[in-house]
Structure 1
Amino acid sequence: MNPLEGHSYMLVDSHCHLDFEDFDADRTEILARARAAGVGEMLIAAVVEAHWPRVQALAAGHVGVWAAVGVHPNEPAGAGPEWERLLVALAADKVVAVGETGLDYYRSEGDLSWQRERFAQHIAAAKATGKPLIVHTRAAAADTLAMLRSEDAAAAGGVIHCFTENRDFARAALDMGFYISFSGIVTFRKSVELQAVAKMLPADRLLVETDAPYLAPEPQRGRRNEPAFVAHVAAFLAALRGEAPEAVATQTTANFHALFRHTVAP
């Protein structure tokens, strides 16, 4: 069965970038395709401060669409955010999380203390507002875990989005109360270690996402990703874990609302 059609269960895309210019020409159609695929909710995560108004407006204008505000670790030093502006943005209607934020040593070079300072600021904002973190980590596993511990990120909670780390990282994140979200990467043929993590993950800590427009899952790989394709991720995880697609959809939707507690199911 094509997971994009012919089912009655609801899914949530827990992380996408529908605010990106990649979608400006057909955003309405993309939202319609998501609904047709059973994607009843989605969370749009900002990566630059300039797009905070865009993600807020998209969330405000659509039922079941939520927003997160933050500044991505690969945005250059000095790109913000300023503390008071971050708190004001987090107080806006339908903004339910802080991020995306984190550490990325893959694309940034040199002294990256500014990344760690920015991450610490986002963690502090999450604790101050009671809204969970959306954590990005790449080539920075040890420092990411060390900062989550040292800054007491468990007090806010959150998710390791687009998870690509190993079992030890997953267990450490779970021990801090974090959720793990899988993108289309888990469907790739060579993602054997990642698939092993996905099999062992407790059902009540599992989320699914697209990270659209990036990382389209099989069999859509190579295309621009979009929220409807989260159905492929969920179907793949269901087969991998030996569970019914409806069970994975129901559980990941419940997990989404448990983590992003300022959301209300449409």
Structure 2
Amino acid sequence: MENKYVIFDTHAHYDSDAFNEDRDEVLKQIQENGVAFVLNCSSDYESIEKTNNLTKKYDFIYGALGIHPSEANDFNNDVKSEIIEYVKENKKILAIGEIGLDYHYDGNPLKEVQKDVFRTQMNLAKELNLPVVIHDRDAHGDTLEIMKEFPSVKGIVHCFSGSVEFAKECIKLGYYIGITGVVTFKNANKIAEVVKAIPLEKLLVETDCPYMTPVPNRGKRNKSDYISHIIEQIAQIKEISSKEVNITVNDNFTRLIDKKI
């Protein structure tokens, strides 16, 4: 059945091994179901090239290139130079990401290493005049501090997990709040409060696929057409039409990247 929405997925990982068996089939299917745009975000070193290649193979896939905080030990000047080269030769690379801080897992790189790599990639975004896609897990204070160090850089706080107060601070800095399928979960009171409090003009929708699958498909591999459930949940929380949510979040993203898709 054709989706009634025009879907912009502002954070996906179709380079993931989870799609190795049927990537072409899935990407064809989501297009048929209303997905008009996907921002594929790299994470580790290998996914930088994979993401770049996906943007060349599929018209509706664009890219963000960067090193995830969990892989911060892999970042060096050679990686930085490679990202710069891809950005220069490929106009479909729209952002630096996903970058940021992740203090959740004990096995992650040292906090000081993560912060140094985060700052370096924020500075790269500043130099290239590109927005950023920020990953922040259990690191709200340090993430905000570094964001404030780069006032000219804008972007998305992806898979937002902070408080209303933190969201408002991010918005003051010119960032958008990325809402995933978590908002559809029964225990999602915190993110529901954020959605209610934050202007619709500052929200974006994303899958983080293959992860974060929304209800009613929770437990399955996520994909971009499932964003319809996120749109409908936001509409319910804000007590407005789902069509208004759909149109506005798409306009928000084109505003962020300063071009029409």
TM range (shorter): over 0.9
Give the TM-score, by structure 1 length: 0.92
| Match among 32, 36, 43 for residue 40 of structure 1 | 36
8 Å CA contact 1:37–1:231 kept in 2: the answer is: no
Q: Provide closer, same or farther for how the CA distance between residues 29 and 116 of structure 1 changes in structure 2, counting only shifts above 3 A.
A: same
Question: Which of 39, 47, 64 does residue 51 from structure 1 map onto?
Answer: 47
Measured against aligned partners, the alpha-carbon deviations of 1:124-180 in whole angstroms (never above 9, x if no partner) come to 011001110000000111000011112x1x312001001111111101000101000
In structure 2, what is the Cα distance between the partners aligned to 1:192 and 1:251? 23
Aligned CA distance change for structure 1 residues 110 and 42 (closer, same or farther; 3 Å) = closer
Q: 2:164: which partner in 1?
A: 167
Q: Are 1:13 and 2:9 counterparts?
A: yes
CA contact (8 A) 2:71 2:109 kept: no
Q: Please, which runs of 5 or more residues in structure 2 have no aligned partner?
A: none
Distance in 2 of aligned mates of 1:137 and 1:109: 13
Work out the CA distance in 1 between the residues paired with 2:228 and 2:222.
12
Tell me which residue corresponds to 2:210.
Answer: 213
> Aligned partners of 2:42, 2:201: CA distance in 1, in Å?
26
Aligned to 1:61: 57
Query: Which one has more relative contact order, counting CA pairs under 8 Å at least 6 apart?
Result: 1
Backbone CA RMSD of aligned residues: 1.6
1:81 Cα deviation after fit? 5.7
Question: Distance in 2 between the 1:178 and 1:158 partners?
Answer: 5
Structure 1 unpaired stretches of 5+: none
Alpha-carbon distance in 2 for matches of 1:126, 1:79: 15
Taking every aligned residue pair, what percent have the same amino acid on both sides? 29
Name the TM-score, length of structure 2 as normaliser: 0.94
- Structure 2 residue identity aligned to 1:207: L
> 2-side partners of 1:120 and 1:254: how far apart?
29
Residue of structure 1 in register with 2:179 after alignment: 182
Structure with greater helix percent: 2
Alignment of 1:93-172 (within 5 A): 93-107=91-105, 108=107, 111-150=110-149, 152=150, 154-172=151-169
Contact 1:14 1:208 in 2 (8 A): yes
Q: For residue 35 of structure 1, report the CA deviation from its aligned partner.
A: 1.7
User: SS at 2:247's partner residue?
Assistant: helix
Contact in 1 for aligned 2:94/2:257 (Cα 8 Å): yes
3-state DSSP of counterpart to 1:74: helix
- In the alignment, the residues of structure 2 paired with residue 131 and residue 6 of structure 1 have an alpha-carbon distance, to the nearest angstrom, of 31
